[in-house]
Structure 1
Amino acid sequence: MYRPWFSRLLQKLNDLIHLFIALALAGASILVIVQFGKDVWHGLHAHNLTLAFLHALGTLFILWVLSSLIGAETTYLRDGTIPLTVFVEVALITLLRQLILIPVEGDTGHSGAWQGLGFYWMIIAAVLVVGIAYYLVSRRN
């Protein structure tokens, strides 16, 4: 019961969805660039430049993720494929961002500090595992 008209309709819908995704990624990138500018501006006027710098760096990592996703969407629109490395790269960038922002969002108190330290080491281990996975996946491609 193959219906060619229905298949074409679904393909057009898929193309429209990917156009929407591309436009949403572009819009999100512009908003993140504006947020980065605000973070830098607030950092210049704050008493704690280190904290403001780390927040701006965290925003920059979000922009990096969006850049990877835009590259993947471009590849999909051109070739119809999405490289597996994109998903591993996004996971790695997200973990690195978390690693940088943990000291900024650290807990106060003695027991909280130990819980934070354990979580920090788990993130480091995850970065190593995902980094190895990225190396293996990118080497295969």
Structure 2
Amino acid sequence: MRWFRTAALLVIIAATMDILLVRASAGPVGLFSAVVAVLGFLAVWRTPPRQFALLGHSIDEDSLRVVRGYLFRVDTIVPLVRIQHIDVGQGPLERFCGVAHLVVHTAGTHNSVVVLPGLLPEAAYLMRDAIRRKIRTDFV
């Protein structure tokens, strides 16, 4: 979604440049807008699948590991004993696409929320329940 907003902003800037600069110099009207729109479309079309392909997660006996990042890789390991609560969410666009996100809230202040986007809703609920079962066994 962030890529779409960035592309839309660039198209607006290019249209403004077309109106202010190109018309004043009698150049080809719409050239900036067309070039930026094509580049924006390519960015929106190519970048999210690459970002999604680089997402990863795993759950073992005592931790949750989340790996993400396109240009900057981030590898987060969350001890299960630090997890406070777990949410499964779906925004309107996620509902339309048939995906959900799992939000893991941990103890602490720095990076206390870990989000796993792009999960199938059933998988998100199964992960939530699996983590909840592991948390329960730690305190019993």
- TM surpasses 0.5: no
TM-score, normalisation: structure 2: 0.28
TM-score, normalisation: structure 1: 0.28
Structure with more helix by fraction? 1
Higher RCO (C-alpha under 8 Å, 6+ residues apart): 1
